[in-house]
Amino acid sequence: MTILTQSRPIVLAAGGTGGHVYPALALAETLHRRGWGIAVATDDRGTAFSDEKLIDQVHHVKAATLAGSAAGKVKGLTLLAIGLLQARALLKRLKPIVAVGFGGYPSVPTMFAATQVGIPTVIHEQNAIVGRANRLLASRVGTIATSFDRVSGIPPKSTIKVVLTGNPVREAISAIGETSYPKLDLTSKLNVLIFGGSQGARVLSEIVPKALLALPSAQRSRLAVMQQCRPEDLERVRAVYEAGSIQTTLKSYFPNMHKQLSQAHLVICRAGASTVSELIAAKRPAMFVPYPNATDDHQTANANAIAGCGSSWCVPEPSFTIEKVSNHISTFMENPALLINAAKSAGCLRKPDAAEHLADVVEAAGAGLATQGAAA
């Protein structure tokens, strides 16, 4: 689109967790570069948006999940109703070209309001199973953008709206995939990166250190471990690694995760949508341990969607034992070609232009209003 209408922004509606925030920010980077003004509608958890210079406005609307007890559902409906009124007033004031939803219940009031007041709408689904918020909106919105070739849970009458864009990832992560996989042979260090989301994952801190400690000393000496742990787990994990004289970098948070990821030969992590997409974009092999209580078990679906291509291994949490993890790592150290080939397979799955493609879809959806705005 060559006509830019800065007085009429593009609104991004998203929940406050990383799986929704990161794709929204990746799209915002692209749209900002194309000259669009960006406004974000989220709830009180969406603090990550406020720190981004490319976001012109951040607006908070009421929202809540409809899960839980009967009283919780009533409260959730009440908050959603209030959020809907807030979102309608916001959209009438901003007069956006298009509204883009990234899932999570905080996106529902804004996207629902957009369909009511006649603003073109696009929702983006990051997972291999449609989330509940996007499922509520699927029949109402104009376009459904997906991250995977096959996505379950889309209403049959809405499949005609589907377009595959891939899941936008941060530019710093995508750039890793343009570089060479770190050298790996039978004598080099094996760089292992372990993380479990913003707060870490207890099972990773419980199992991985003990699994690496169980390796023969010759293999332990070839390990370089970078692990994100919950603050309360740091010293306990450190003690296990020190007992095995294993080289480690332990932190409760890595502010520049792309630096750790660029060095990694193998990643051990959960299988949230953004994590899966970022590892594919960076061409890094992974051992995925899906969070078993994720809604509709979508993390297992995400992991299986790419594990079949040879780029990763999906290990359900009940099977994620000290012995199994130790055997996996030992096998990788004895046969580094397994990881090298997995990295190549990940490259075949990359969609490096996902943000650009989604931006094209968004601009196309709002093309009519953009032209009207420019003529006004």
User: Sheet containing 121-125: which strands, arranged edge to edge?
Assistant: 57-60, 38-42, 10-13, 98-101, 121-125, 143-146, 162-164
pLDDT at 304 over 50: yes
Q: Which domain does 281 fall in, by range? A: 173-349
375 belongs to a structural domain: no
pLDDT digits (tens, 9 = 90+) for 87-119: 999 999 999 999 999 999 899 999 999 999 999
pLDDT at 6 over 60: no
Gyration radius of the chain's alpha carbons? 22
231 and 190 within one domain: yes
Average pLDDT over residues 218-229: 97
What pLDDT score does 1 carry? 39
Higher pLDDT, 72 or 121: 121
| Dist. CA 4–CA 123, nearest whole Å | 22
**DSSP secondary-structure letter at 103?**
-
Q: For 63-91, b where at least 16 C-beta lie within 10 A, e where not — what string?
A: bbbbeeeeeeeeebeebbeebbebbbebb
302 belongs to a structural domain: yes
Average pLDDT over residues 274-295: 94
118 belongs to a structural domain: yes
18 belongs to a structural domain: yes
- In the predicted model, what is the mean pLDDT of the chain? 90
90 and 203 within one domain: no
189 and 162 within one domain: no
94 and 69 within one domain: yes
Average the pLDDT over each of 38-52, 180-194, 198-212, 281-295 and give the range with the smallest value.
38-52
Kind and range of the H or E run holding 362: helix 354-365
What domain count does the chain have?
2
376 belongs to a structural domain: no
Higher pLDDT, 375 or 112: 112
Average pLDDT over residues 197-215: 88
5 belongs to a structural domain: no
Whether 23 contacts 102, CB under 8 Å: yes
pLDDT digits (tens, 9 = 90+) for 330-371: 999 999 999 999 999 998 889 889 999 999 999 999 986 543
pLDDT at 63 over 90: no
326 and 210 within one domain: yes
Average pLDDT over residues 175-187: 96
Average the pLDDT over each of 46-55, 61-70, 214-223, 324-333 and give the range with the smallest value.
46-55
3 belongs to a structural domain: no
DSSP one-letter string for 50-97:
GG-TT--EEEE-------SSHHHHHHHHHHHHHHHHHHHHHHHHH--S
What pLDDT score does 200 carry? 62
pLDDT at 209 over 90: yes
pLDDT at 2 over 50: no
| Dist. CA 241–CA 158, nearest whole Å | 51
**DSSP secondary-structure letter at 144?**
E
Higher pLDDT, 249 or 1: 249
pLDDT at 241 over 70: yes
What pLDDT score does 292 carry? 92
Question: Which of 28, 17, 26, 169 is closest to 107 using CA atoms?
Answer: 17
What pLDDT score does 121 carry? 97
68 and 57 within one domain: yes
128 and 158 within one domain: yes
Average pLDDT over residues 238-265: 95
- Supply the CATH number for residue 77's domain: 3.40.50.2000
Band the pLDDT of 208: cuts 50, 70, 90: very high
Higher pLDDT, 121 or 294: 121
pLDDT at 251 over 50: yes
Average the pLDDT over each of 59-68, 163-172, 313-322 and give the range with the smallest value.
59-68
132 and 209 within one domain: no
| Dist. CA 369–CA 337, nearest whole Å | 53
263 and 163 within one domain: no
What pLDDT score does 373 carry? 40
